Structures are given as C-alpha cells and as structure tokens.
Structure 1
C-alpha cells in the first residue's frame, strides 16, 4: 500500500470516528423536583369548592354517584367533598376527576381522604392526609404506570369578601345538584406539573423543564400529544420565579424537538413516562419559530360562537389594539380578572376576542349571558393554541395596530396599565 492510499484510509477513519463522537448521545438524569409553572412563590391559585355530603352521594357537574364505602369509623355528617382534575385514571367513576372527602373541614386540622383509584371506596386508599402549615402535597399515580404521578399543592382559601359571592354563584350554577359550603372553608390548589432540573452541557449551565400539561401524570413521547412540553434553555432558571413565559416556548415531547444551546442545535432523542431522564444529540435540524413579543401576527380567521367568521386583522382598525383573552368558564383566576378586562374594553382603545379552552358552546354561551360579555368569543382550536403557545390561563395577548404583539401577560391589570398610557 502506497503512502497516499494509507493516508486516505487514516483520514476516512478519523472522520468516521469524529462523526460518531459528534453524534454521541447526551443523557441527563432528572430528579423528582416538581414546581408550579408560575413559580414556587406565586400567589396564583385555583379554588376548590367544597360540597356537603348528603345521603352518601357525590355530585359533580353532570352526575350523582353513591359512595361505596366511607372511611372507617367516619360518619357522613362530619364530611364534605371536592374534586381534583386528573386525566391519568380512566377507570375513575368521574371522568377526568378524582373525588376527595374532608373531615372536620372547619378545623385547622382538617383531614383529606383521597379516592386515589376513583372507585368511590374510601377504605382502600391508605391513610388520610393532614394539613401542615396550612398546606399539603397530593400525589396522584397514573393508573398504567405507578411510577409516574401528578402532584398538587393544596392550601386553605383566603377569598376576598368582594369576590366570594361571584365565585360561589359561579360554582352553584355549575354544580346544580350539590350543596356548596361557605367559601371561607374552600381549598386552593396549585398544579405542580413542571419537572425542573439544573444541568450542565459542556461545563455550561442549562435548565431542563418537562411540563405535564395534559395532567395525566406521565410525559408522553408522542407528536400527537399536544399538551406535554419540553424546554431546554441556557442558564439555571430560578424555580421561585414565573416560568410560564419560558414554558410557552416549549416543544412537543418528540424527535422534532430542537433546542439552540450555546450556538449549537440539539434534538430530543428520548425520555420515559416518568421524566426521570432525557437524551439529546447534536442535530442539523433547526429550532421552530415561536410567537412572542415582537412577532407579527399573520392573517388568522376564527369562527366565533354565533357561527360567523372574524378576521383578526379586521379588528385592528382605527388605531385600535386587539386583546386576545385566553381563559375558560372553569377558570377562577379568569373570572376574578374579568372586571379589569371590562375596564380595558371601556377605554375604547381595544377590541377584544375571548378564546375559551376546555369548554363547550353551551357553557360559553351561558357564561357570556350571565357575565354580560360585549365582545366576540370563540372556542380554542389546535391551530390557535399552536400559534400562540398557550399553556396557562388566563393569558392575555395584546396586539398593536401594526399587527405586532406588544404584550403577553397573565395579569389583566398590566394590560390596563399599558393601554392607559397610550
């Protein structure tokens, strides 16, 4: 073999080895550190109304069902009940809900009896949970993967008196067969749906976020699962601060997820349902373009509740802004901020479109009538959700007359403050 041929073989071998090294999998183990998407220090909560237990019957919005067994040595008169949203137990007697009982609900030492398997037998779910420092953590196992779970932080409500009546009336109308107790005894909940992990990539800090937005206790590696999201970003994010703006830029958990980290693109290769690890590798794919502040909103037509079609560009007229109000009839935070949204509308500087998620035409129509909503409303579609990367409610997207997004915020008071300066 002559020297030239030998040199070519060595060169090809080295090139092959370098390619193998460059495509090497990078695996990160992720501890069970669950946080709220608005940060550990957030004061944003959802309300859990409590209902009086009568004749051992639990009633949700549409169904009444008889309890099979009460907790041992507990009398019905001592109990109230409530629900937690959870999609990880398809066998539950109540669709997408897990019921729980509360003993001594007026006491500081109230006990929670969680029907973890949703079978309405409260004797096969383990010991009750008691409040410590006015809060406790709830763990709901996924029925098909017991190693995976969804987490809630429950607390005691502190509903302002000026909001109590509206909130109670809202839930009374939604639960017509249930006897609701006074709002001062309600609970609050925060969904700890985000797994946060600080890691290093080539000796540089990165943060990995896995968001179980589908609320089933597992992280689904599936392009068609529109809920679950993964974020890998530079630096170490502070878990005490609001993470929602970062989570908006998340990718579906699949092989198309690509992240730009310190000048290089990395693709997601694998994870498991528990989210206990993720594997990435360098890729030639490009990161997707996300809608954010400064983005120009392209032409978008939506069908509003009355069946007509509205072009969003037609609402950006006469130098008016357009506010997209993403929420739901079920969203306590949305209802509490609604008076401020009406103040925004009264400025006559803004057109508004309400976008309702996880709702039906009937529930939205009833809400619009009851709350005297003056602007067009629509149901959320996959297209709209994808364009604006919505994963928190309420979310307010303010679009300027030049079609540029100028604000994406969770608080309507910030929108009002901005508009009042214009």
Structure 2
C-alpha cells in the first residue's frame, strides 16, 4: 500500500513539475523562414518598363499618363555599352522618398534573358541616386531566384527581403498573355517590357520557430504584413500558427494587439509576453486559467455545414445526414505529421467500428483527382470529402490533422482527438455511448 501511495505521489509531483515548467515564459528564436497560403498562391508581378528617357512617373500614378509635379529624375550609373534597359518598382514599406513612398526604384540592363546576366540596380538609400548604393546585383538566365534585401534607414536590424524570379519562357502561355494584355492597356505612357521580361515577387516577410509544449508541438511565426522590417506593429502585423517543422503555415492568424496579445492552439491559450520589434524572437507563456475563445464546446452540437465527397464535387451534402450514429470528423492533408500512423488507425477504426460509427475525413489542399487516386490506390473504405477555409474556421482548425468525435445528433464529445486515441476510447467501451 505504501509503495502504491509513493507511486501516486511521484506521478502527481511530476505532473505539477511539468505544469509549472510549461507555465514559465519561453523565449523562441525566430530563425526559420516560412510561407503562408497567401505567399504560396500569390504570383505578384514586378512590372518592368522599357527605359526611353527621363523623367519617370511614380508607381502611384500607375495606369495613367500623369505628368508634371509627380514626375522625378534619377541619378544613373554609367550605362555605356549596355542594352535592353528597363525600370520598375519593388515594394518596401520602409522606403521613405516623397516621390516613391513605399517603393524602390529599380533599373535592369541586359534584360534579354540570354547568356549575359541581367544587372540590377536598386535605390537602397531611397534618394533617387543609383550611384551610391554599392555594387549592383546580377541574375543569370538560369538562376532560379535572387534575394534583394532593404534596410530601414534608422535601424539596420529592421530589414525586408524580396525574392525575385522569372516566369518560365515556355509554360503558362494563357496566363502570360492575360498579364501582357492587362499591363499594355493600363501602363499610361510607359512601355511594358512583357511578363517574361519582368520579375515574379515573393515576399520573405515571415519568421518562424518550432515549439514543443507537453505532448503538443507546432510552428509559430510573425508576419511583417506591410514589409517594412518591423514585426510587432499593433493592428497590422500577425502571429501565424502551423504544423511543426513545415515551411508552409496554416490559415490561423492572430492580430498583434497593443495590450493583450495571445493565441490559442489545441485548446490551449498562450499569452505573448514580448515580441522583438525586428522579428528576431518571441516570448510566450502557457495560460492554463484563461477562458478559451477559439474552440467548440463539448456537449453542444457541432456547426452546420455542407461539403462534397470526392466522387461528386457538384453534389453538396449536409452534415446532418450523419446524425443517426456517432461520427468522427477528421481534417487532414498530405503534408501533415502522422499521415501513415493515422491512416493505419483509421483503417482499424473502420474495420472494428465501421458499423457503429460514421467516419468522415475532410481533406484541405489536394485536388479531387489526387484524392481519387489515393482512395483507389490505397483501397480506402471510409468517406473522403473536401474541406474549405470556411469549414476549417467553423471548427477552429489551425493545423492538420485535427479530429472531432460526436455522439448521435452530432453533439461534440471530444475535440482534437487522433484516430489512435479514438480507437483506444472505443475499444475501452467509453466512446460509443449515445
């Protein structure tokens, strides 16, 4: 008996020790680059225009033929012997020139995309003088991308990097034609060089760290929304949450607030104690006593929604169709952790309890064709539907996978439950009660 009491006391001490440790502030160094869904999908173009002569019209009068007070001149480097000269504007929130607020004047020579590398001058001092910015950058014809970094004039620790790349010369002909038609019709008196002679822009404005707390782990990041090198501006910048170790983050974001910045993940609230202004670090603390705002309430019905199965994208199904049996709703994608383990556990759930519960898996990110191939190749017996951001938001799904188990009539009993955890629950006879 004494040994049993000692064992219980030891376990309680361990738990209290873990809880105390988890509630201490943790400083995370944000030393990883990450992307969000907007960054991945965005194909912003830095339009380049042929350089006939000065003066230039600013980016703010794009699409017009405005002249006069808005025009400006630039002090040029020696361009003797160079051909195929173009100019354009790169967005940087810290650029403070009155004529080009928020934009950096950019000059490109040898912009033919042949064996000669393109030479790129950027007005890094924001003074309309390309002779005092150091050596220009170069980009070879087969170079996948070029990173150009801009610094805040008052604080060199605050910087923003823009990644330049090119459209493929031989792909996406329809897209390039649409872009060309648009810019040719909306460039005022400027002569558009063409989409293949312009740059694609990818903003490197997200810094991330991986974080483990208890049995949970995830990636947390700061997003410099206005790309000015500062990551902690209230009402502007964001905290993003994603899967542990993955470069692309999820859709969950939290606004940085003046006084009370926090975020929630898997039914846990984390208070943000300190944010380095230039995005180098973030200090968080688990708050076990706070009321959660981004979770479904157990004992209540789950939200109503419609979805489609991959076999018929056009047919919408109401979730209430599943109300006659307990239902497991599992949100997933190919890039998640535990993909193999969860698939094995789902198969066991189907084999052992498929007659007693509904299993509905909702994928977010893959195409119907990819999902059909997966279902056929792996002989998947359970239903696979497609989720969407609105459906994810209804369930506060921030990372994948996420599982929810309901009783009959779709009343929630367990949130954030994995297939393996549900399998154990059902085998113990405590999960299939009405």
Which TM-score band applies after superposition, normalised by the shorter structure?
0.5 to 0.7
Counterpart of 1:47 in structure 2 is 45
Counterpart of 2:124 in structure 1 is 116
**Aligned equivalents of 1:129, 1:287: Cα separation in 2:** 49
Q: How does 1:374-413 map to 2 (within 5 A)?
A: none
Counterpart of 1:201 in structure 2 is 213
TM-score (norm 2): 0.55
1:288 Cα deviation from its structure 2 partner:
3.9
Change (3 A) 1:261 1:167: closer
2:109 maps to which of 103, 113, 128? 103
Tell me, yes or no, if the aligned pair for 2:87 and 2:108 is still in contact at 8 Å.
Answer: yes
**Aligned equivalents of 2:87, 2:295: Cα separation in 1:** 42
Find the structure with the greater CA-based Rg: 2
Whether 1:27 aligns to 2:39 is no
Whether 1:160 aligns to 2:169 is no
**Aligned equivalents of 1:290, 1:139: Cα separation in 2:** 40
Counterpart of 2:3 in structure 1 is none
Tell me, yes or no, if the aligned pair for 1:194 and 1:212 is still in contact at 8 Å.
Answer: yes
CA distances 1:369-420 after superposition (whole Å, capped 9, x unpaired): xxxxxxxxxxxxxxxxxxxxxxxxxxx9779xxxx89x99xxxxxxxxxxxx
Change (3 A) 1:20 1:43: closer
Tell me, yes or no, if the aligned pair for 2:113 and 2:197 is still in contact at 8 Å.
Answer: no
Tell me, yes or no, if the aligned pair for 2:74 and 2:129 is still in contact at 8 Å.
Answer: yes
1:160 Cα deviation from its structure 2 partner:
2.8
Change (3 A) 1:176 1:168: same
CA distances 1:324-362 after superposition (whole Å, capped 9, x unpaired): xxxxxxxxxxxxxxxxxxxxxxxxxxxxxxxxxxxxxxx
**Aligned equivalents of 2:147, 2:198: Cα separation in 1:** 16
Please, what is the CA RMSD of the aligned residues?
Answer: 3.9
Counterpart of 2:158 in structure 1 is 148
**Aligned equivalents of 2:200, 2:124: Cα separation in 1:** 19
Change (3 A) 1:280 1:398: closer
1:95 Cα deviation from its structure 2 partner:
2.2
Change (3 A) 1:166 1:23: closer
| Unaligned segments of structure 1, at least 5 residues | 1-16, 298-318, 322-395, 409-422
Counterpart of 1:390 in structure 2 is none
Please state which structure has a larger fraction of its residues in strand: 1
Q: How does 1:16-415 map to 2 (within 5 A)?
A: 24-31=24-31, 33-38=32-37, 42=40, 44-59=42-57, 60-62=59-61, 65-74=71-80, 78-91=84-97, 93-108=99-114, 109-131=117-139, 133-158=143-168, 160-201=172-213, 205-222=217-234, 225=235, 227-232=236-241, 236-239=244-247, 242-243=248-249, 246-252=250-256, 254-261=258-265, 264-283=268-287, 284-289=289-294
Secondary structure, aligned partner of 1:189: strand
Change (3 A) 1:203 1:142: farther
**Aligned equivalents of 1:161, 1:80: Cα separation in 2:** 22
**Aligned equivalents of 2:173, 2:221: Cα separation in 1:** 37
Change (3 A) 1:259 1:113: same
Aligned length: 281
Change (3 A) 1:296 1:212: farther
**Aligned equivalents of 2:50, 2:79: Cα separation in 1:** 18
Change (3 A) 1:30 1:75: same
Tell me, yes or no, if the aligned pair for 1:208 and 1:230 is still in contact at 8 Å.
Answer: yes
CA distances 1:237-290 after superposition (whole Å, capped 9, x unpaired): 411xx42xx244333255433234565422001111211111112333344439
**Aligned equivalents of 1:290, 1:87: Cα separation in 2:** 35
Tell me, yes or no, if the aligned pair for 1:193 and 1:211 is still in contact at 8 Å.
Answer: yes
